[in-house]
Every structure is written in C-alpha cells, then in structure tokens.
Chain A
C-alpha cells in the first residue's frame, strides 16, 4: 500500500507499509507546514503493529526543530513499546543536524552506518538489535534549543562572548564577566570568562537567588559591594564568598525592551566598582541588548519551538481523552470531539482541562476503587 501527500510541493511523504515495517520516505523541506501531516502519519505508525518504522530521509533538504521534536517524540513512543525507529540515508548535512539535535542518540544504530547512501528497498533486511536507552528529557530539551541550523544562535553567542571579553578587558576591577540569558524559560550562561565565573552563575540558578537573577527578572541593575555584609541573597552568598568573590555588578539585558538576561561582572575586591565602572557596565549591557534585539528572529524561533512543544502535549492529551470517550460511549472521534466541545461551550471550561479530568478519572486511587462510574478495571 502506498499513498502520497503533497502540500504546496514543499515536501512529500511516501508511505510503504508491510506487516513488519513501515517505510516513510520524506522529501523536500520539513517545517511547521509539514507538522500536521507528519504528526498524523507518526500517530498512525505508532498505533500500528509495525516492529520497525524506517524514515528514509535521503531526499530531505531541510528540517526544523518542530519536525525534529516530532520525530524524537515518535522514536521515544516506539522505543517504549520495544519497537524500532530507524532513520535511513541522511545526507551529510541532515546527519550533522540529527547529531547536533541529539536525535541520533534516540534512533537505532544503522542510521549512519551500512544503510548510508544506497536506497535499500527491502524491509526484510532489518536486523534485530537491542533498544538504545531513550526517554531522557535531556534529548528533547536539546531539540527544543535547536533552531533550523545551529548557526544563528552560535553567531549570537559568539557576539556575546566578544562583549564579555571586551568588558573584562575594559573594566579594571573585573576579575570575571559572564552573560546569562533566558532560554526555554530558564536562565543559562552563554558566555563566561572562566570556570569560577561559570560556577558563580550556576550557584545563582541553583539557589534561585542572586543579583544576576534579580537583574534578569526586574530589568534593572543590581550590585553588591561586599558579600560579607550582603543580606539579600542568603542562600547564594556563602558559596560566592567561598570562591573568593566580594563584589558583583549585574546589569540587565533586554531584547525588544523585555528583560531576557544579565551581564554579570565579578570582582575579588570589596567595594571594587566605582561609578565609572557602573557606567561602562551599562554600556556593554546595552551593546549586548542591541545584539539580542537584532537577533530577535532567533529568540522568537526558540519561543516558537517551546510553544510548539506545549501544543503537542495539549494535542496528545485531548486525543487521549477523545479515545477514552470513544471507548466509553461507543462513538466516533469527531463525535467525541463534539462532546468535549459542547461541554466546554456550556460550562466555559477549556476543552483541554476537561480532557485532563477525563484522563485523570481513569487513575482512581486504590481506596476509591469501585465507586467510579466506569467499568471495574479488575474485571
């Protein structure tokens, strides 16, 4: 069986299904436009009984983080069912992207090995292999970070490292400088002059307090001239002092006026920073903010990937609730949606919340067993 789906000729997905394996051949550009088709197709093959799902990407020109996330998600779902997910014949460029995104670690070994190059028509040549360890959130987190190609973010990070080096060279009392940026909802250090400085930032993220965090959130400068007398950040201060740091100056970074991070200057000298140093720090912070604002495309690409990831979870929850209703009421998927939608219409409760309730209702605590309205799971 075979079917082809084309959308504005940007991509095509061919399917070749046998009892044992599903081969999906994707060509062209896989971006957000391809998501519904790709999502539906993966749902179908996951729902099926194929022992192996092969995605042939030999004709793939480009792929965005949304589609990579979808593939990773499907690979994890299949692995959880002890089934194989294989990516076949990637070009060198796509192979590098799979590598960078962490997806390579999620799929089975043949990906970059013997299947490389030649189109292998048969799915019977598939060898049994032990499943690799999957399900680490780290892989998906890495995927969310990756935009279409890593270069743009790298360029921004490179520019920020330059700002850090210049600030370190120009501000005399500075023993170290770093830049923290909020990415995927969390602060992370994208540039630091040395390991001590990186540790200083990390302690602040770990304790949830410190001048860097306050500047990043409130969008104004925070400084401390003497950590010994500092009272504002009791959890963070001792570890900073233990590393020999005495004064910190954190200036806010903004992208399109929104606070997104901080430029942090650390000194071993108490009362190190004079007012000229503060002015210089704010000049460098403005410089870094300009870089971030101009790279706004990049920031929004990141936001988009995060937003998409959450949309994927909502979609899955609603689909599961539809499935529950279909089983419980003996109705079609569309009718299950209408049921959910009507409830939302009558009560004003968002459909997603209702879907969560329906799924939660399946997980009754032991004590309540038998008091629910659904069938007895112990039958």
Chain B
C-alpha cells in the first residue's frame, strides 16, 4: 500500500486544499505520532507509513473532503488490501 499510497497522498492533500501544517495538525488531532517532517516525508514517498499511520493520514484527508462536499476518496489500508 505504501508506494502506491504515498505517491498520491500529496496529490490528495493538494486537491483537499490543505497546507502541510494544517494536515499535520489534523493528523495530530486524530492521534498521529509522526512529526511534521516525518509526515512530509510520507507524503512525498520518502518514508513508508505504518498501516495504522496511513489510515490516520487517509482519514484526516477524507474528513477534509467531506467538509468540501465530497465523500471519502482516499483509500484506507483495508481497501487496498481487501479489493
């Protein structure tokens, strides 16, 4: 899930119109433990997120998409593995 996920995560972030720091704050709110720099590295694919971490990032983005009137476009780990 990592390589496929991380490559598009930053694209999702841009589509969601979230700054990197705001995304980190939302990720932190949801219990994320990575630092802002580590999160950035994950977004750009330089660091592999744990499945749990990936889901937190995906959910932070998805909640933002809901705010913008969309649904949950960012796949969670189980979606990638399960399908």
B residues neighboring A (CB under 8 Å) = 21, 25-26, 28-38, 52, 55-56, 59, 62-63, 66, 71-72, 76
> For the complex, is A193 an interface residue (Cβ under 8 Å from B)?
no
Q: Report the number of A-B residue pairs with Cβ-Cβ less than 8 Å.
A: 60
Query: Interface code A304-347, partner B: CB below 8 Å = 1, 0 otherwise?
Result: 10011001001100110010000000000010011001001100
Which A residues are CB-close (under 8 A) to B31?
315, 318-319, 322, 337
Known: A8-B37, A32-B36, A33-B37. A352 touches B29 (CB 8 A): yes
Cβ contact within 8 Å between A345 and B32: no
Known: A315-B28, A337-B52, A338-B55. A345 touches B33 (CB 8 A): no
A residues neighboring B (CB under 8 Å) = 7-8, 32-37, 40, 304, 307-308, 311, 314-315, 318-319, 322, 334, 337-338, 341, 344-345, 348, 350-352
Q: Which 7 A-B pairs have the closest CB atoms?
A: A314-B29, A33-B35, A311-B25, A311-B29, A36-B33, A334-B52, A341-B59
Main secondary structure of the interface of B (DSSP, over half): helix
Cβ contact within 8 Å between A348 and B66: yes
Q: Please, how many angstroms separate the alpha-carbon atoms of A308 and B63 in the complex? A: 18
Which B residues are CB-close (under 8 A) to A337?
30-31, 52, 55-56
Other A-B contacts than A37-B33, A315-B31, A322-B31, 15 sampled, CB-CB below 8 A, are A7-B35, A7-B37, A7-B38, A35-B35, A36-B28, A36-B32, A307-B25, A308-B25, A314-B29, A315-B28, A318-B29, A341-B59, A341-B76, A344-B59, A351-B59
Nearest CB of B to A65, in Å: 15
Which A residues are CB-close (under 8 A) to B36?
32-33
Which B residues are CB-close (under 8 A) to A348?
66, 71
Closest residue of chain B to A337, judged by CB? B31
Which B residues are CB-close (under 8 A) to A351?
30, 59, 63
Q: List 16 A-B contacts (CB under 8 A).
A: A7-B35, A8-B37, A32-B36, A36-B32, A36-B33, A37-B33, A311-B26, A314-B29, A318-B29, A334-B52, A337-B55, A337-B56, A341-B55, A344-B59, A345-B59, A350-B63
Q: Please, how many angstroms separate the alpha-carbon atoms of A352 and B30 in the complex? A: 8
Cβ contact within 8 Å between B62 and A345: yes
